[in-house]
Amino acid sequence: MKLILLGPPGAGKGTQAKRLEDKYGFVQLSTGDMLRAAVAAGTETGKKAEAIMARGELVPNDVVVGIIADRIEQPDVAKGYILDGFPRNVAQAEALDEMLKGKGTALDAVVELEVDDSILLKRIETRAAETVGGARADDNAEALAKRLKVYHEQTAPLSAYYRGKGKLKAVDGMKEMDEVTRQIEAALGL
């Protein structure tokens, strides 16, 4: 199963990816983790990424896609993978599709966790209040509001992109965690 979990920050993508990984053996592939691993391993793509990151610049799509291309060749992803943090926009989705096509494969599905922004903001405020001192720096309503704005401007158009390709499966991300997991499994035929 080659999968993308799509949804705004705080929708539960990480939690659901971990559950799928634990139950089915799909590997959650974080682009940030893959970039750091490629740099540490000294791969050709990793060397390109290291030079770019050392200048404080964002790693271009072709380099990120190259790192994903290398990573999905590894034996531990034989059962499948869940892309985390990529693609973030339609241009990246198109680059990903082209790379996969070149390998004779394609995504199986894109699962979108549909959520209500106002409820996400309330959740993050509650979580921040409950974890005083232990919260992430961006775990506050103001930071989440900015992240949601960026998501809606740049990443949300992926819904229409993948719907047009017949890959999008929408689930109600506002349900209780176990119910969201059941919806995802049903949408994927697991």
d(CA 68, CA 122): 35
Place of tokens 């070149």: 102
Examine the residue annotation and report whether 36 is marked as an active-site residue of this protein. no
The catalytically annotated residue of 2, 36, 127, 182 is 127
Tokens of 125: 């405020």
The catalytically annotated residue of 36, 147, 175, 182 is 147
By CB atoms closer than 10 A (0-12, 13-18, 19+), residue 71 is buried
The catalytically annotated residue of 47, 136, 146, 165 is 136
Relative orientation angle of helices 31-41 and 44-54, to the nearest 10 degrees: 110
Examine the residue annotation and report whether 136 is marked as an active-site residue of this protein. yes
Examine the residue annotation and report whether 147 is marked as an active-site residue of this protein. yes
Put the strands of the sheet holding 109-114 in their side by side order: 27-30, 81-84, 2-6, 109-114, 168-172
The catalytically annotated residue of 2, 36, 88, 175 is 88
| Residues β-bridged to residue 112 | 6, 170
Catalytic site positions: 13, 88, 127, 136, 147
